[in-house]
Structure 1
């Protein structure tokens, strides 16, 4: 915990008031640090490592397969997806995002 002890003044009331001001400022700083840490962690989780080995999607032509590694889903419609039929991929990504948001707010269907 946070402890503040001030004995600058002869008056107990003045020391107490000063200690409360110091305590309030320390609590405020701790809250700001925690919020900054949360924002930073969230930003890092969205950005990823930037490493080139971090795969997003694999297009396997011999097997006519597309795999999205972020959501761990595979479609056997490579020809259609490359022709512009992205609906199955976008729907799966949007559903994954909705589930992530529900999990973040603690409401799972």
Structure 2
């Protein structure tokens, strides 16, 4: 991630870069990720590390967890059909959040 940030900044400058953090999902605290045989670390820790690195480089990011909450119980997926992939309402919420974010950070 450090290498990616350094490369993007050197190539494009900070004004044209933003990151969109992964969608919250039902199994985001599983250290086995999505059906891995060996532990790989949980998504929540990965997202926290991404935030720290992006802050270090002073790069903006959109954290979708505020508009796309993690389902707390299996079967109660809200904006998702399966605990990850957006349903129609979820796609609409994501589109609105991304457009608003881009308008606020990159409008000329």
Q: TM-score under structure 2 normalisation? A: 0.34
Task: Select the structure that is richer in helix.
Answer: 1
Q: Bigger relative contact order, structure 1 or 2, given CA contacts below 8 A and separation 6+?
A: 2
Higher strand share: 1
